[in-house]
A and B are shown apart, each in its own frame.
Chain A
Amino acid sequence: MLQIKGLNAGYRELHILFDVNATIDRGITAFLGPNGSGKSTLLKSIFGLTTIYSGKITYNGKDITGIPPHKKTRMGISYLPQVDNVFPNLSVRENLIIAGYTLEKSELKERIDAVLTIFPELERLMSRKAGVLSGGERQFLAIASSLIRNADVLMLDEPTAHLSAEVSSQVFSKIADLRDKLNLKIAIVEQNIHGVLEISDRANFMVGGRIVFSGKPQELLERLAPANE
């Protein structure tokens, strides 16, 4: 289990997150909220890409607050950024190889084969540069890359950003599949509230760098309903 306790974080002097408490456990935990509410900063902070002023992040009871990103990756925590989440000048194969950088050669081959069974659409694109893939293919590659590392915790920052409704629905369905088949702890930051709440097990709503709701997805939908009417 990944736990965030009393987290205050931001970018240098720019304080973004205020006393955030959250838990990421088995299943899908959604983090929602308006633009600038600190959702993406929260994932970045967990992964060690921001300045942490105070608070604690623990993973299976171990304090991981000050641990650099590449070491968190080795611990099984994977993070998928919102943009620039693949290397456009590297081929699909090279992207998958670099995604498994921390693995031994034989294990890497096994993992790539395993991931290709989940994302068979990538198999025919292996020698193509990631920069020429379509938006959906690129997002599948990005998610496949984060799975290569034998992730236990998968943090996805707006995985459906800039995708059509049809492709977004395919991506959500694939994420739900991953939860069911691989028993992962998945944290998703999303703008597409209805899409993500359909597949989520827990939901958090953030405003101004604070979590103002934490509970069941259905409950959040009900609370948000009058606002959406």
Chain B
Amino acid sequence: MFVVEGALVYSNLLALLSIGLTITYITTGVPNFAQGSFALFGSYTALTLLHTLKIHPYASVPLAFAVGGLAGVAVYALALKPLVKREASIVTLMIATLAVDLILLGIFGAYSDFLEGLTGKSAKKFIFTSYDFSIFGFKTILLFSTFAILLLLASLSALFYRTKFGIALRASMENPELAEVMGVNVARTRTFSWFLSGALASTAGCFLPFRQEIVPLTGSLIIVSIFAASIVGGITSIYGSVLGSYIVGFSESLLTFIISLAFGQILVYSRVISLIMMLIALVLAPKGLAGVVKKKWSIYS
């Protein structure tokens, strides 16, 4: 039961991260390799508030959301928007986000040193499990992360299908030139998508230390699973990425656990499962599960 709970929490967080990756990929064509590091904005916001103001990490979520959102906008405006405007190739954009990832790694490393010096408490390696509690026998992280993903899906659905701005977002994703012709300020919808992506990653990052130990390198490690989730689900489908997150999240957690029972300690290699799933998806269904489902529907239509 403990393993299943852990798998569900991990999948919830992976979904928050991969939805953000998918949104920015659809709107700006940028495969963001720094998405994992965006999560650390949330982790370090929560740690800073905990160590300096004794604020519980769960209470840091709104601030983490805002900080991550602003970080997403800053990275887009300063590093990526000029490249997108110059119609840079996807390889250039990938390299740019890898550079951003390394810069963020340096920034989080330096910040953790600074925070350790300021508070005298460990910031280079930290975990929040001791701050978690239970409600009705369930770990709060399980309830909160599940609630967060359900709230997010309901909000996204309302935004995309019930508001004019949401329809404009979908239109900008589908055909930015035509959306501009219709009077939509596409630059604004793209900036919003980077805010949303950064905010969701940072929210996931606020929850992540309740599940695993955080180090400045965590973002660069988790990016493998985020990409696997997006690609397995279909990198151009938001709901596909959610489905991919649960498949990758559960496979990574449960398969690793089952194999480790048979062959001993292999937990450190859990990312290999994500990579294998990603490769299988790329070979057998390059458009991911969303592509498979769409194809099946088109047969019946």
Contact = CB atoms under 8 A, between A and B. Distances in A.
Interface of A: 47, 49, 68-70, 73-74, 79, 81, 84-90, 94, 97-99, 101-102, 105, 145, 149
Interface string B162-176: 001001101100110
Interface of B: 164, 167-168, 170-171, 174-175, 177-186
B180 A69 contact: yes
B78 to A, nearest CB: 21
A87 B178 contact: yes
A85 B177 contact: no
A35 to B, nearest CB: 21
Given A49-B177, A89-B174, A97 B167 contact: yes
Given A89-B170, A90-B167, A84 B182 contact: no
A85 B178 CA distance: 7
Contact of A101 (B168, B170, B174, B175): B168
A73 B181 CA distance: 7
Contact of A98 (B177, B182, B185): B182
A61 B170 CA distance: 36
Contacts of B167: 90, 94, 97-98
Nearest to A88: B174
B175 A87 contact: yes
A99 B182 contact: yes
Given A97-B164, A98-B167, A70 B174 contact: no
A81 B181 contact: yes
B182 A73 contact: yes
A102 B183 CA distance: 6
Contact of B168 (A74, A79, A98, A145): A98
A101 B178 contact: no
A49 B183 CA distance: 13
Contacts of B180: 68-70
Contacts of A69: 180-181
A212 to B, nearest CB: 29
A62 B177 CA distance: 24
Given A90-B167, A98-B167, A101-B164, A84 B178 contact: yes
Nearest to B87: A12
A98 B184 contact: yes
A46 B179 CA distance: 17
A68 B185 CA distance: 9
B178 A73 contact: no
The 10 closest A-B pairs by CB, nearest first: A73-B183, A102-B183, A69-B180, A98-B171, A101-B183, A70-B183, A87-B174, A94-B167, A87-B171, A101-B184
Contacts of B174: 87-90
A69 B180 CA distance: 6
15 contacts: A47-B181, A69-B180, A73-B181, A74-B183, A81-B181, A85-B178, A87-B178, A89-B170, A94-B167, A94-B171, A97-B164, A98-B171, A101-B164, A149-B182, A149-B183
A79 B167 CA distance: 20
Given A70-B180, A89-B174, A98-B167, 10 more contacts: A49-B177, A69-B180, A70-B186, A81-B177, A81-B178, A87-B170, A88-B174, A99-B182, A101-B182, A101-B183
